[in-house]
Amino acid sequence: MSLTSPLLPRRARRFGIRAAILAVVIAVALGAIIFRALEGWSILDSIYVAVQTVTTVGFGDVAPRTVYGRAFATVFMLVGVGVVLYALTATVQSIVQSELVAAVGQRRQSRKMSKLHNHLIICGAGRVGSNLVRNLIGSGDTFIVIEKDTQKVAELSDLGVPVLVRDATLEESLREAGVERARGLAACLPNDADNVYVVLTARDLNPGLHIVARAAEEQAETKLIRAGANRVVAPTIIGGHRMAVALTKPAIDDFLASITANKLGLAFEQLEVDASSVLAGRRLSETNIQSELEIVVISIRRGDGRLLFNPSGESVIEGGDMLIAIGQVESLMKLNVLAKTPAAKPEFA
């Protein structure tokens, strides 16, 4: 299920107002130039009379003296009033239209959000959150962002990202985003205390929710875990570890960078094997995972939580296992289908 933003791009919303202002400026500038040429006034007096004319204030201490000046003033009054009326109408229309579109869009988005199930919620679109959003775009996962900063909201809306303009620390914001029906939540707010509050609230509303939280400070990790986060990511620690690898083991760093940037066409994937799958009960060597799909199974996580690293060909795949694999995206998709495809039942005469 896809969810698109109901907000119009900022450029489209402001075009009418900018055009109206430009029309008034052009009218005043043109009037000032002609008044100066016909009456010989200074540029300041010419602008003064032009503004008086288009705003229908009327002539006071300065008025046209020549015949041509009065004739132009007559025409300019009619044209200037029309320009000002157009500007006012366009401005009011743009404002009202934007408000109506925003109101209708919000109602439409609320209806769509009420139908969301098994989706992801991103709380905060700062440096970490915005990068997370970029990785989710095109992934096929349905997600929604909760952000209260208007500038960040506009940037996400221009990208077609669904945004809920709310404070993510409020319980009603999480409820409106459908946290009870979501499968995952990322707390990416810049403040650790806010992330702890989001995690506590989300865990209380959905005990089965998978929660990943950002920790700005290393000591906040334990607090976030106690609050209910399944995983905690500390960008500073990860960044330091990555820099150490880049400094001491550049070849490994190049390989990791190639996978991250998808230069090799490879991807990591986790695949849960159904109990009735054609893979269940078979040894790795008996499957086509490596021979045909050319997928490397890095590890197998058993249903009881045991982790089998670098499994051999004699390792048996069991129902409920989680396969951690690396390979081509198309091959991983085929393996995912196999993991869900039930084995053919034997036929008896």
| pLDDT over 60 at 347, yes or no | no
The rounded mean pLDDT for the chain is 83
Start-to-end C-alpha separation, the chain:
45
Structure-block tokens of residue 39: 């009456």
What span, in angstroms and rounded, lies between the C-alpha atoms of 23 and 222? Answer: 60
Residues of the chain with pLDDT > 70: what percent? Answer: 87
Q: Which fold has domain 265-340?
A: Alpha-Beta Plaits (3.30.70)
The predicted pLDDT at position 3 comes to: 44
Contact 290, 284 (CB under 8 A): yes
Residue type, 325: A
Q: What is the pLDDT of residues 181-220, one digit of tens each?
A: 999 999 999 999 999 999 999 999 999 999 999 998 888 9
Q: What is the pLDDT of residues 90-100, one digit of tens each?
A: 777 777 766 66
How does residue 120 score in pLDDT terms, banded at 50, 70 and 90?
very high
Residue bearing the bigger pLDDT, 233 or 69:
233
How does residue 254 score in pLDDT terms, banded at 50, 70 and 90?
confident
Residue type, 281: G
Helix (H) or strand (E) holding 71, with range, is helix 67-114
| pLDDT over 80 at 342, yes or no | yes
The predicted pLDDT at position 14 comes to: 65
Full-model pTM: 0.60
Contact 186, 136 (CB under 8 A): no
Q: What is the mean pLDDT of residues 22-35?
A: 87
How does residue 24 score in pLDDT terms, banded at 50, 70 and 90?
confident
Cα–Cα distances (Å) from 240 to 217, 224, 244, in that order, read 13, 21, 6
User: What size, in residues, is the chain?
Assistant: 349
| pLDDT over 90 at 268, yes or no | no
Architecture of the CATH domain 10-100: Orthogonal Bundle (1.10)
Q: Does domain 116-233 fall into CATH 3.40.50.1820? A: no
Non-local (6+) Cβ contacts of 303 within 8 A are 318, 319, 320, 321
Query: How is the chain split into domains, by residue range?
Result: 10-100, 116-233, 265-340
Q: What is the pLDDT of residues 141-181, one digit of tens each?
A: 889 999 999 889 888 888 888 888 899 999 999 999 999 99
Best CA proximity match to 75, nearest among 44, 57, 50: 50
Q: What is the mean pLDDT of residues 299-326?
A: 89
Best CA proximity match to 189, nearest among 212, 206, 207, 172: 212
Cα–Cα distances (Å) from 328 to 53, 288, 317, in that order, read 71, 14, 21
| pLDDT over 70 at 338, yes or no | yes
How does residue 107 score in pLDDT terms, banded at 50, 70 and 90?
low
Q: What is the mean pLDDT of residues 77-100?
A: 76
